[in-house]
Chains A and B, each alone.
Chain A
Amino acid sequence: MYGNDFGPSANEGEDVRPIDDAAAQVRFDALLADDERIEPRDWMPAGYRKTLIRQIAQHAHSEIIGMQPEGNWITRAPSLRRKAILLAKVQDEAGHGLYLYSAAETLGAERDELTEMLITGRQRYSSIFNYPAVTWADVGAIGWLVDGAAIVNQVPICRCSYGPYARAMIRICKEESFHQRQGFELLLTLSRGTDHQRTMLQDAVDRWWWPSLMMFGPPDDASPNTAQSMAWGIKRHTNDELRQRFVDMTVPQADVLGVSLPDPDLELVDDHWRHGPIDWDEFNAVLRGEGACNRQRIEHRTTAHTDGAWVRDAAAAYAEKHQRAAA
């Protein structure tokens, strides 16, 4: 909502503002303590709002930028069934981006501003999309590993303390489960296919495994914001907890696909699959813009946005003309 639902609105003037911030803070803390949801018009600490806007926007940007690596394959999908599935999936990602922008707008961040922040590099998107999707098997690996990791990350956000974000997430998680399944099924088909297809499969898993583990973010001891986010109920589990959950889920699935995971240290200890050291230098390099596709992804988004300006302007001009005519 409520683009206007957080501040001065239609009933501006009669708006009753909090008596004082201390009292409001007490009420806010009490809501969190009761595991209640914060809603757009509630008073909230500036840091809470800022953190949410940053996180939701980054999440939305990731969905939109994430359309590109797979979108590249829609026109080349090897069968019409796969083409339809992939088209529907990439369309869902646009949809998910929109749900999330819609949630961010309830905090007073307009989509235009957020788009601007994205294309000028002031807000991030998930680094995973700076890796190139170079073969058809990558489409499957993205579904299985990248969407799989995203789901593990996202499920707890369905219980996020901020209502609109949690609601958007519930919708997204429901829809996303098909994304991971189609990826796995795609890979399973390759695993039962020709030698060439199996090679393609293993190669994609080799390239996407480590980046998908990095999707959970830096290890807990290097993640300074986690504690505050958890206190605010924005985050429910630490990066390492979620990463572990993902690895535990995924290793047995790799067996079914008959692929090896590119980690010689992978070992079952106390019912958990322990992975080897993650190359955080690579992670940080991609964050700094040294990934294969950083520049390309942003340029693509910028071009679509800039090239579309005359179309958006036309529709707005038409609406204004015809509203005036009707008035």
Chain B
Amino acid sequence: MSTSWPLWEVFIRPRRGLSHTHVGSVHAPDAAFAVRNARDLYTRRNEGVSIWVVPSAQITASSPDERDEFFDPAADKVYRHPTFYELPEEVRHL
């Protein structure tokens, strides 16, 4: 059994002005090769102008089981959204 190459998560910036977005993963022996493999795999049709790779094992994520206590408390803070506020129609630029 041969050594398997570690897994890397790939993030691509589709064009200037946009953030890097997760697109999938690649296997590569090291970071430099991971960038190249990601380039060859995920930008064959001009899909990107910049690539990040991160060892998959290095990602720390929130747990789906903590979802309620993580995200539900934000749901009732309606006053954070501009639509919460009623203004007279004649008011502009606000």
Contacts and interface: CB of A to CB of B under 8 A. Distances in A.
B88 interface: no
Interface residues of A, dominant DSSP: helix
Top 6 A-B pairs ranked by shortest CB distance?
A: A315-B29, A309-B2, A316-B3, A319-B30, A3-B7, A3-B56
A2 B61 contact: yes
Interface stretch (A10-18, A53-61, A68-76): A10-18
Given A10-B59, A316-B5, A1 B64 contact: no
B15 interface: no
Interface residues of B, number: 28
Contact of A98 (B26, B60, B63, B66): B26
A174 B1 CA distance: 36
A81 interface: no
Contacts of A3: 7, 25, 56-57
A323 B9 CA distance: 19
Given A9-B57, A16-B65, 5 more contacts: A1-B25, A18-B65, A313-B2, A315-B29, A318-B30
A170 to B, nearest CB: 11
Contacts of B59: 1-2, 4-5, 9-10
11 contacts: A2-B56, A4-B59, A10-B59, A10-B60, A11-B61, A42-B64, A92-B44, A95-B44, A103-B24, A167-B24, A315-B30
Nearest to B30: A319
B44 to A, nearest CB: 6
A318 B25 CA distance: 21
B25 A4 contact: no
Contact of B56 (A4, A91, A319, A322): A4
Contact of A91 (B4, B29, B44): B44
Contact of B4 (A16, A42, A92, A110): A110
B94 to A, nearest CB: 36
Interface residues of A, number: 43
A1 B3 contact: no
A175 B26 CA distance: 18
A112 B3 CA distance: 9
A312 B2 CA distance: 7
A175 B41 contact: no
B45 interface: yes
A111 B27 contact: yes
A9 B60 contact: yes
Nearest to A38: B64
Contacts of B57: 3-4, 9-10
A319 B29 contact: yes
Contacts of A246: none
Interface string B5-47: 1010100000000000010111101100100000001001100
